[in-house]
Structure 1
Amino acid sequence: MNRPARLHPAWIVAAVAFVALVGAAGFRATPSVLLHPLHAEFRWPVATISAAVSVNLLLYGLTAPFAAALMDRFGIRRVVAAALALVAAGSGLTVFMTASWQLVLCWGVLVGLGTGSMALAFVATVTGRWFVRRRGLVTGVLTAGGAAGQLVFLPLLAMLVAASGWRAAALVVAGAALLVVPLVLCLLREHPADLGLPPYGATEIEPVTRPAGGAAARAVGALVQAARTRPFWLLAAGFAICGATTNGLVGTHFIPAAHDHGMPQTTAAGLLALVGLFDIVGTVASGWLTDRFDPRLLLVAYYALRGGSLLVLPGLFAATTEPSMLVFIIFYGLDWVATVPPTVALCREYFGASGAVVFGWVFASHQVGAAVAATGAGLVRDQLGEYTLAWYVAGTLSVGAAILSLMLLRRRGAAAPGPVGVPAPSPLPAAPRVWSYRD
């Protein structure tokens, strides 16, 4: 009699990683909900509050490559548990703040470092270790964890702010992050080889190799090698625009912009939560497509469509939720972080074993773009009294990102640098694209 197939532990690891990403996403969903309450209570300029958001977004990105290297050296479990504790500390301490520098310290530094340690480089590390088959799909699902966190927390946070004030919302986020820590410590495994198993979809056990040298040296070394290649700069520039047009602009300023047109804050938060809902669908679908189609072409399509939608957004704002705005929310949600699975795949293709760390640096550019956009849009609002110019600039930049992705098609055969400390092989002429994780 045939024994029933056993669930591969890779799926349990992926499930725990998903929950951790949801827990980390809670505080990252709060800036747009808390912007007006903080402005009303402390009389801080919108640009000052936006600057704290920018520090958060910047550290969220810059921490990622170092966190990926730390996970290789000290283990995923320790790094993720410590990161969740930082998120909880930063969120909880905000209830005691009385000056804007404290907002930057708690909201910007502590939460930025914590969430950055569970950024998309964490996703790349988990999928790179545990999956060969279905890698693109799982990347999409885990990436959608952030959107799920936004979906779960945003309406709740908006209602808490309206009923009990912004401090109650901050404490709820701190508690949610702490609740995930025991789950991570108990169930998040490091390598399939530790259990005597190959990764999901592979036939041979991959030996565990601990990288030599410190995590910082490995992260910087990967950047130095990747920076010598044209694809790295094309991917980083496109992803910087991706961050500017999602977390930096829409994620931070959509609710205040809608409120400027007379829409209640809770209604606008509900619309942004819908973006999170459709982002789950779009990102999972993008992972499925990445397993089957050239990720370069997917990036061209995603960025071009995003640019068109942002250019029409200023004419859609109103005091009530019109059908045209709902169409935008659905469309933008499907495209929100659909760029992640193809970008992860391209980093793995171009940079091989260093792909997860290199993606951490590409993701850092994403957050640099987000930080610039968060502050820049706040300045536009302070100086002009409206956000219209910010939407038009973002739409134009997205079209530019599509052009950058088209340029990648000319370098499909670019050789990947080897591991840090090993000389990179000479480029091969016109090397064909090879997928190691196609079904």
Structure 2
Amino acid sequence: MDAVRTLSRRSRLGHRAWWVASAALLAIVVAGAFSTLPGLLTGPLHQEFGWSRGSIGLAASVNMVLYGLTAPFAAAFMDRFGIRRVVVVALLVIAAGAGLTTVMTTAWQFTLFWGLLVGLGTGSMSTAFGATVTQRWFVRRRGLVTGVLASGSVFGQMVFLPALSWTVGHHGWRPSLVTLVLAACATAPLMWLVLRDHPADIGREPYGAERHVPRPVPSEGAGRRAVAVLRDAVRTGPFRLLAGAFAVCGASTNGIMWTHFTPAAHDHGMPATTASSLLAAIGVFNVIGTVASGWATDRRDPRRLLAVFFALRGLLLMCLPLLMSATVQPSMLVFVVAFGLLDLATVPPVVALCREYYGDSGAVVFGWVGAAHQAGAAVAAYGGGAARDAIGSYGPVWVALGALCAGAALLSLLVRRDAPAGRPCLSAVDRL
């Protein structure tokens, strides 16, 4: 009997789904590394070309917007043309954009190469990509796998940032770009060898499934389907509630923390290098928190988890003005650990709810919810700076965002659980 259990466990661990998930994680890690570069390039580009910081920032803004808008279309293209083709093309587009950036001579070329090409490529491998892989290849452990894949982008930043920073400082900005180009080019053929679009392609069932699951018929018109999904989803209560809550999520993380935490700490006399190190530490705990959230999502009501995460994040943000000082106090370290654990923890519950309400369209719906996240981040990034200029302090900004997080917690609880699990709510979309 023990031998049978051991064989069963080995069979589960050797399931092709884990290899596909591992390959997807590698692609997400490599794509995440590209998001670390804009901050490292601003100074060198300004010094070499004399470009204004605004023109350099325009490329980063275009990149961020396209990152959010590309995700739902990429998920639809994966349904139409397959995961493997879309990911390989995305990696090659990223490599092309970064490679062309090394020979640019004008600011508009930076916006074209980095903003457009790299933005399109990295957006194709955002959390919507992870949601698609999880939905197709896993029945059990979906929350855990979603958490691991969602943390991949941050992990990529952690892995590559120190090396890229050293390379820029010692050898210039072009070698750092070439390093990422080589990483993307080396990853592309590996994705072609390991990734598969659906378990049925190799005669297997999804991990945890008790029976064979046929491959869905590819829908015609991937772009049209992505728009149709948005059109139908926006008429439903769960989508509006989740999009609103996730817009607050983006505002209270990417929008404010990653843009304004360092200058806010500097206002209190803390050196910028110290504040940046605290942000890097938040990134470390991001990984732990996201994986733990995925594990919990497999076992608990995702609505309640989401509400708890938002409520705790709001409390932390409201306390932040009291914790700011010229030196790092123990209370600030507690904030860094707690905020890091909560930062990306919202992703697995939202993915699970999109899958629950919208079935096979769940990954595309999550892509649009992610676009709302990026929109919230953009508003907070601009509004936080404008408020600092007008008021002279970031204090009211932290409190206001904490209050918005409390509202997002309420929105999460208002999402009703009246749809059968895995059953699509978008009948019009399913007919496409």
| Same fold at TM > 0.5 | yes
Q: C-alpha distance in 2, partners of 1:309/1:400? A: 15
Q: How far apart, in 1, do the equivalents of 2:50 and 2:119 lie?
A: 24
Other-structure match for 2:361: 354
> Which segment drifts farther, 227-236 or 93-102?
93-102
1:240 pairs with one of 239, 247, 270: 247
Residue 279 of structure 1 aligns with which residue?
A: 286
Q: In structure 1, list runs of 5 or more residues that go unmatched.
A: 425-439
CA deviation after TM superposition for structure 1 residue 47, in Å: 5.2
The structure with the largest helix share of the pair is: 2
Q: Where does residue 201 of structure 1 map in the other structure? A: 208
Task: Work out the CA distance in 1 between the residues paired with 2:220 and 2:255.
Answer: 35
Secondary structure of the 2:418 match is coil
217-226 or 63-72, which deviates more: 217-226
Residue matched to 2:417: 412
What RMSD over aligned residues (CA atoms) do the two structures have, in Å? 2.8
1-structure distance, mates of 2:93, 2:265: 32
Matched, 1:159 2:150: no
Q: Which deviates the most, 11-20 or 311-320?
A: 311-320
- Give the Cα–Cα distance (whole angstroms) in 2 for the partners of residues 106 and 89 of structure 1: 8
Question: Which of residues 348, 363, 388 in structure 2 aligns to 1:341?
Answer: 348
Aligned-partner residue type, residue 307 of structure 2: V
In the alignment, the residues of structure 1 paired with residue 227 and residue 80 of structure 2 have an alpha-carbon distance, to the nearest angstrom, of: 15
Cα pair 2:80 2:220 within 8 Å, conserved: no
CA shift for structure 1 position 149: 0.9
Contact 1:32-1:254 at 8 Å conserved across structures: no
* Structure 2 match to 1:330: 337
Question: Displacement of 1:201 after TM fit?
Answer: 0.3
Relative distance call for 1:254 and 1:36 in structure 2 (3 A) is: farther
How many percent identity over aligned positions?
57
Structure 2 counterpart of 1:437: none
Q: Which runs of 5+ in 2 are unaligned?
A: none
Out of 119, 143, 146, the residue aligned to residue 153 of structure 2 is 146
| Cα distance, 1:13–1:245 mapped onto 2, change above 3 Å | same
| Residues in 2 aligned to 1:181 and 1:245: alpha-carbon distance in whole angstroms | 34
Distance 1:114 1:173, change over 3 A: same
CA distance in 2, matches of 1:182, 1:267: 40
What is the letter of the counterpart of residue 245 of structure 1?
Answer: S
Matched length: 422
Deviations 1:148-194 (A, max 9, x none): 11221233333334444444433333333223212211111111111
d(CA) in 2 for partners of 1:216, 1:241: 27
Retained in 2: the 8 A contact 1:131–1:199?
yes
Q: 1:259 to 1:28 in 2, by over 3 A?
A: farther
Give the Cα separation in 2 of the matches to 1:391 and 1:397.
10
Q: Structure 1 residues 230 and 43 mapped into 2: Cα distance closer, same or farther (>3 Å)?
A: farther
Q: Are residue 84 (structure 1) and residue 95 (structure 2) matched?
A: no
- 50-59 or 256-265: bigger deviation: 256-265
Aligned to 1:173: 180
Per-residue CA deviation, residues 271-298 of structure 1 (Å, 9 max, x unaligned), is 3222222111111111111111111111
Give deviations 1:14-39, integer Å, cap 9, x for gaps.
11111111000011133344455556
Report if the CA contact (8 A) 1:73-1:211 is conserved.
Answer: yes
Select the residue among 51, 59, 65 that pairs with 1:58.
65
Amino acid at match of 2:406: V
Structure 1 contact 54–370 (Cα < 8 Å) conserved: no
Q: Secondary structure at the match of 2:209?
A: coil
